[in-house]
Structure 1
Amino acid sequence: MEHPPYRLAEEFDRFLGDPNDPDEVFSYARCAELDDREEFPADICHRFQEWGLPDHYVPVEHGGRLRDYEQVLQLARAVARRDLTCAIGHGKTYLGGVCVWVAGTAEQAAGLGADIMAGVPVSLGLTERAHGSDLLAGDVRTDDKAPDTGDHWLVSGEKWLINNATRGSVLSLLTRTNPDGGPRGFSVLLVDKRELDEDTYRHLPKIRTHGIRGADISGIAFDGARVPRGALVGAEGAGLEIVLKALQLTRTMCAALSLGAGDHGLRLGLDFAEERELYGRRLIELPQARHVLSGAAADVLLHEAVALVAARAVQTQTAELSVTSAVTKYLLPTGTDQVLADLTGLLGARAFLKGVYADGRFQKVERDHRLVGLFDGNTLVNLNSLINQFRSLVRGYRRGTGDTAGAVAACDLAAPLPPLDPAKLSLVARHGSGVLAGLAASVDEIARRAGTEPALAPVAEAARRLLAATAAVHTEMEEYQGVLTEVPPAAFEVARRYALCWAGAACVGLWTHSTGHVGDDPGTGALWRDGLWLHTALDRLLVRLGEPAAAGPETYEELLGALRAARSSGRLFSLLPQRSPERPAAAGTAAAESERTSC
C-alpha cells in the first residue's frame, strides 16, 4: 500500500541528506553545535524553505499545499526526528497562522499565506508573564477611546514566553478589546510588525531554556502601537473562541514532535544496546535491557497509532476535535517523556553526557521534549478540557451517538479525506465521541476474525477487556459531570483514564479498518499480522488502567524482533509502509522535486 502522506515525508527526509554526515546542513553535529551556542538554526530553516516546507503550512484554498493534516504531521515528524529545536522553531509559523485559517477573511488568508510561503516567520501571542494559561486574565489591550485612533487600534501590553516573538514579522495576537474582559471581551489581531512605528513596540530578551536552547523564546511589549482595524480576525469579541478552536488543530499537530522524539530516542537506545558489551555479553542479550526496549517499542507504536487517527480525524471528525486534541496533547507528550525516561535507565550515565555516546544526542532529545507538554495547553489544561465535556461524553456513550462514520474514515488509512471545514470546529463534542461509540463494533469484528484465526484470540480478549474498562470509566465520569470550577483531583484521574480508553479505541479501530491494506507489506507486515502491535498497545493501556497484563513476554520478544529487523534493514520502526531506505547520491533530486510539484 502506498501511503502518500508518509511517502512525501520520506522524499523530504532524503532531500535533507544524511543526518550522520557532519557536512550536511541539517546534521546531528550541526544541531549539537547550535544547541551549545544557543543559536537559532537559521541555515537549517533556509534548507526547509528551499524544499518548500512552508507551503504545507498554508491551506490549498489560500494558495498553499495543505490539504491533508496527516501530511503536516508526517513532515513535522521528519524534522522532529532529527532535532526538536528545528521542528518547534520553524513549525511555530504554522501555529501562528491557524487563527487566520479558522476565522480570517479571504484577503487576510491570502496575504498571510503569501508571506508564509515566502519564508516570513509568524508567531502566536497568547501567554503573559503574570497569567500563564489563564487567557481570560490577559492584560494586553486596545484603546479605541483615544481621540487619535481613527481607523486603528492602539495596542498596549506585554506578551511573554512567545516562540518567534522576536524573529517573527507577523503575530496573531490575543488582545482585550473590552475593558471588562470576559469570554466575549477578547479579539485576535493579525499584527504585522513591519507596519508598526518602531517606537511603539520592543522585543523582550530571549529566555534561556533548558531544552530547545536555540529557539526564539522571548516576548514583545506594545506601547500604543497603531494596528489597522482591518487586522481584526473574525468578529470583535470572538478572540477566545477563535483561539480555542485554533488550538484544537495545533494541539493535534504537536503529536509530530512527540513522534519524532520517540523515533530518535528509541533508535539511540537500540543502537546502544546492540553495541554495548557488559559482563561478556552485549547489552541487548540481557533480559532487563530487552524488557525496556520492547516496552518502549510498544509505546512508540501506540503513540503513532493514536497520532495517525487523530490527524485524520481533523478532517473526518472535525466537530469532535475538542476531545481528540485534548487526548492527543495529553497522552503523547506524557507518554514520550516516559519512554525517554525508561531508555535513560538503559543508557545509564551516557544518557546525560555530551561527547561520549552519539554526540550527546540522547540528553538533547530528552530535555528538548520536556517542553512539548507545556505549550499549547499543558497536561492539566488538556485533562480539564476533557472534564468540561464529561456530560456530553457520558450522554453520547450511553446513547451510542457520535460521528462513527467519521471515526471509521479516520481509522481507514486507505479512505480519502474530505476537505477541512473550519466552521465545524466546536468547543464541545455535543454528541459524544464517535471513536468510542464504534469500539464495540470493532471488538466484535476482531472476535469474529479470531474464530478463524486462532492467533488473534488473545488480542480479541484484550479488546473485550478494554471495552469493559471503557464502560466502567464512563460510570466514573458521571460523578463529575457538573464540575466546572474547583475541580477535585479525582476528576483529573478519571480524565486520564478516559484518555487511555480513547487511545485504545483508536488503536482497535485502526487495526480493524487498516490491517487489510498494510498487513502484507514486506517491511511492516509482521507488526500487523496476528495483531502484534495492537496486542502490545492494548497491554500497555490496560496495565495503566489498573488491569492485569494482557500480553506475555513472548509477545514482547516478537515485537523486539521486529524492532531489530527494522534497524538491520535501515528502516524507521513504524506502522506505515516505507520505500527502500537508501538515500540518493545528492539531496534535492529530480524525484523529490517531482513529488513536490505533483501535490
Structure 2
Amino acid sequence: MAELDRLEAFPDEACAALDAAGLGAHYVDARYGGRLHDHVELVQLLRTVARRDLTVAVAHGKTFLGSAPVWIAGSPEQAAGLAAAVGQGAVVSWALTERGHGSDLLAGELTARREDGLWRLDGEKWLINNASRGHLLCVLARTSGEGGPRGFSLFLVDKSQLSPGSYRLLPKVRTHGIRGADISGIAFDGAQVPHSALVGGIGMGIETVLKALQLTRTVSTALSLGALDHGLRIAADYAVGRNLYGRRLAELPRVRRILGQASAALVVAEAVTAVAARGIHALTPEMAVISAVAKAFVPSLVQDTLERLSELLGVRSFLSESYEDGAFAKLERDHRIVAIFDGSTAVNRSLLIDHFPALARGWRRGRADQDGVASAMPGGLVAGFDPARLRLLSTGGCSLVQSLTGAFGRLGNAADQGLLPTDILGMARDLTAVAHGVHAGMESQERTPRDVPQSAFELAAQYELCFAGAALVHLWLDGARTPYDALWLRAGLAVVLTGLGLHVDESQATAYDRLADRLLGTAGHVLPSLLAADDRGAVL
C-alpha cells in the first residue's frame, strides 16, 4: 500500500480482496437482499478497513454512498436491480459536486431534459470519487431552469448503456492524501437515459440527497475511527520500542499522558459514532441533527489527536519510507479529506445552526424520545431502518442531549449508592450547566440567512461537545450491555470539559494515564471497543 501511494496507483488488489470477502453485500439494504441490517455493523466493517488503509476504505466504501439515495427513494424494481449489480461487484459513485460550485448543490449546472421519451444529460460533475471506475453513477441534475429546492432530480446512470461519445471521463486529479483513489470527473454531452433511471420523483433530488447525507455522514465517521486506531497503534509501538535517557519512552510521564489523552479522544469519538449509527434506526427523525454533529465533531477531534501523536513520533511522523513504510504520514494525510467530503465541518455546523430554535425549544421543554435514546445504546437488538421516517429538519430537537438533565439525576442516584465516584458526578454537573448555557445562547442568537455570525459557529462547536458528553453519560448508565466503565466516563468527560474550556483537576486527568496503561497492556495496542461485537455476538 505504501508503494501504491508513492505511485498514486489505485489499490485494485485490495479492493478485489474486499469484494471476495463480501463487503459489498453490507452496502445493500437488507430489504433488497443485502446484509445491511445494522449501520453500526457497517461502521465497524469500514473502520476495520480504514484501520489498515484509508485510501482503500474511501475507494471501496464509495459504493455505499452512491447507493444510499436509491435505498431511500428508489422504486422497488430500481433498488432490486441495483442490489443485484452491487452483489456482482458493480462500483457505484455519487456525482453531486461541480467545478466552481463546491457544496452549493443548488448552483449545479448539469441539466436533465426530456427528449423523445428519454432524459438527456448535459454538463459536468467534478471531484467525484470513482467517477472513472464506477459502473453506475447517481447523478444530481437540474430538471427545472429556475433551479431551487424542487428544481433538481437524481438519476441512476449505467455508463455501459450510454451511447458512444455521449460522455467522457475527466482526468484523475492529484490530491494531497488518498493519492491512489479515483478522484476525477465525468462530462455528459447529450447522454440519454430511460425514465426508469429517475430516482424518486421529479424535483425530489435535493430532498433525497439531504436525507441520504444523514446516513453517509454518520457512516463516514468510521474512517476517522480507523485512522485513530492505526495512529494510536503506531505511536504506542514506537513508545514501547524506543529508549531515551536509559528508559523506555513509554515509561516517561509526558509520553504516557499523550497516549492516554489520545486513547480518551478515541473513546469519545467512538461514543459519538456508536450513538449516531444506532440513531439511524432508533432516532431516525432526529438524524438531521445527529448526523451533522457526528460529521462535524468526530473528524475534527481525530485530526487534532493525530497531530498530538505526531509530536510524540517526532520526525518519524513525516517520513514517507524509513519508519513503518511511512504509515503515519500517509494516514495523517489521508484523513484530512474526511472532514471535507459529504459536507465540510463548516457546512455541518451551518446545518446545526439552522436547528438552533428547535434545539433551544426542545431543551426548555425537556422534550425527549426516551425509548429512542435507550435503543440508541449499543448492545441490544436494533430496529429495522425505515427511510420514510427521515426528516429534513428535526423539529423536536435532539433527544440525547435534551434528556441530559434526567440522566444527571440517575448519575446522582448511582453516586448515592456508591456506584459512581463523586468527582465524576461533579464533572457531569459541570457538563449539564454548560449545556444550559449553550441552549440559552442558541435561543438569543441573532442571525439572518445571509449573515451567520462567528458566535453561532462557536455555539455549534460547543453543542457538539455537549452531545459527546451526553453520549458518554448515557453509555455509562447503560453499561450493563457494553464494556463502558467509570474510567472511560471520567477520561471522556475530561476531554469534553477541556474542549469546553473548563478546568479539569489533575486527579481527574490521571484517568488519561490509566487509559495509557490499558492501551500498552493490550495485544497489538488496541483499546477495547464499544462496538466490538454485533447483536449476535460475532466479533467483527
Common fold: TM-score over 0.5: yes
Residues 4 and 180 of structure 2 are in contact (CA less than 8 Å); yes or no, is this contact kept in structure 1?
yes
Residues 19 and 89 of structure 2 are in contact (CA less than 8 Å); yes or no, is this contact kept in structure 1?
yes
CA distance in 1, matches of 2:481, 2:345: 35
* Secondary structure in structure 1 of the residue aligned to 2:421: helix
Residues 356 and 442 of structure 2 are in contact (CA less than 8 Å); yes or no, is this contact kept in structure 1?
yes
CA distance in 2, matches of 1:241, 1:188: 10
CA distance in 2, matches of 1:275, 1:377: 40
| Structure-2 residue corresponding to 1:538 | 493
How far apart are 1:448 and its partner, in Å? 1.1
* Secondary structure in structure 2 of the residue aligned to 1:187: strand
Residues 414 and 420 of structure 2 are in contact (CA less than 8 Å); yes or no, is this contact kept in structure 1?
no
1:431 lines up with 2:401 in the alignment: no
1:243 lines up with 2:213 in the alignment: no
| Structure-1 residue corresponding to 2:170 | 204
1:48-63 matches, cutoff 5 A: 48-63=18-33
Q: Say which of 403, 406, 414 aligns to 2:369.
A: 403
Structure 2, unaligned runs of 5 or more: none
Residues 69 and 212 of structure 2 are in contact (CA less than 8 Å); yes or no, is this contact kept in structure 1?
yes
Deviations 1:244-273 (A, max 9, x none): 000000000011000000000011111111
How far apart are 1:183 and its partner, in Å? 0.8
Residues 401 and 431 of structure 1 are in contact (CA less than 8 Å); yes or no, is this contact kept in structure 2?
yes
CA distance in 1, matches of 2:224, 2:446: 31
Residues 271 and 530 of structure 2 are in contact (CA less than 8 Å); yes or no, is this contact kept in structure 1?
no
How far apart are 1:482 and its partner, in Å? 5.4
1:257 lines up with 2:223 in the alignment: yes
Moved more, 276-285 or 501-510: 276-285
- The alpha-carbon distance between structure 1 residues 64 and 455, as it changes in their structure 2 partners (threshold 3 A), is closer
- The alpha-carbon distance between structure 1 residues 364 and 278, as it changes in their structure 2 partners (threshold 3 A), is same
1:506 lines up with 2:471 in the alignment: yes
Deviations 1:16-37 (A, max 9, x none): xxxxxxxxxxxxxxx1121111
1:479-494 matches, cutoff 5 A: 479-480=444-445, 483-494=448-459
How far apart are 1:571 and its partner, in Å? 6.2
What do you get for the CA RMSD once the two structures are aligned?
A: 1.7
Residues 184 and 239 of structure 1 are in contact (CA less than 8 Å); yes or no, is this contact kept in structure 2?
yes
- The alpha-carbon distance between structure 1 residues 394 and 553, as it changes in their structure 2 partners (threshold 3 A), is closer
1:552 lines up with 2:508 in the alignment: yes
How far apart are 1:322 and its partner, in Å? 0.5
In structure 2, give the amino acid aligned to 1:246.
Answer: A
| Structure-1 residue corresponding to 2:237 | 271
| Structure-2 residue corresponding to 1:360 | 326
| Structure-1 residue corresponding to 2:520 | 564
* Secondary structure in structure 2 of the residue aligned to 1:123: strand
- The alpha-carbon distance between structure 1 residues 577 and 309, as it changes in their structure 2 partners (threshold 3 A), is closer
| Structure-2 residue corresponding to 1:440 | 405
CA distance in 2, matches of 1:292, 1:335: 14
How far apart are 1:339 and its partner, in Å? 0.8
Q: Say which of 125, 128, 146 aligns to 1:162.
A: 128
CA distance in 2, matches of 1:374, 1:454: 42
| Structure-2 residue corresponding to 1:289 | 255
CA distance in 2, matches of 1:548, 1:41: 46
- The alpha-carbon distance between structure 1 residues 595 and 542, as it changes in their structure 2 partners (threshold 3 A), is closer
Deviations 1:402-459 (A, max 9, x none): 3222111102x23211111101111111111110122122211122111222652111
CA distance in 1, matches of 2:457, 2:195: 42
- In the comparison of the two structures, how many residue pairs are matched? 536
**Identity score, percent:** 47
Q: Say which of 38, 59, 69 aligns to 1:99.
A: 69
| Structure-2 residue corresponding to 1:460 | 425
How far apart are 1:484 and its partner, in Å? 2.5
- The alpha-carbon distance between structure 1 residues 289 and 131, as it changes in their structure 2 partners (threshold 3 A), is same
CA distance in 1, matches of 2:409, 2:420: 16
Moved more, 180-189 or 393-402: 393-402
Deviations 1:124-149 (A, max 9, x none): 000001100000000001232xxxx1
| Structure-1 residue corresponding to 2:291 | 325
| Structure-2 residue corresponding to 1:33 | 3
CA distance in 2, matches of 1:368, 1:507: 28
Residues 10 and 180 of structure 2 are in contact (CA less than 8 Å); yes or no, is this contact kept in structure 1?
yes
Deviations 1:354-398 (A, max 9, x none): 222211100000000001001000010000000011111111111
Residues 388 and 484 of structure 1 are in contact (CA less than 8 Å); yes or no, is this contact kept in structure 2?
no
1:80 lines up with 2:34 in the alignment: no
| Structure-1 residue corresponding to 2:336 | 370
* Secondary structure in structure 1 of the residue aligned to 2:49: helix
CA distance in 2, matches of 1:96, 1:376: 11
1:574 lines up with 2:538 in the alignment: no
CA distance in 1, matches of 2:504, 2:491: 10
4+ aligned runs moved over 6 Å, structure 1: none
How far apart are 1:504 and its partner, in Å? 0.8
Residues 571 and 578 of structure 1 are in contact (CA less than 8 Å); yes or no, is this contact kept in structure 2?
no
* Secondary structure in structure 1 of the residue aligned to 2:376: helix
Residues 391 and 482 of structure 1 are in contact (CA less than 8 Å); yes or no, is this contact kept in structure 2?
no
CA distance in 1, matches of 2:5, 2:444: 48
Deviations 1:510-540 (A, max 9, x none): 1111x11334xxxxxxxx44x1011111111
| Structure-1 residue corresponding to 2:480 | 516
- The alpha-carbon distance between structure 1 residues 304 and 404, as it changes in their structure 2 partners (threshold 3 A), is same
CA distance in 1, matches of 2:234, 2:261: 15
How far apart are 1:230 and its partner, in Å? 1.3
Moved more, 459-468 or 160-169: 459-468
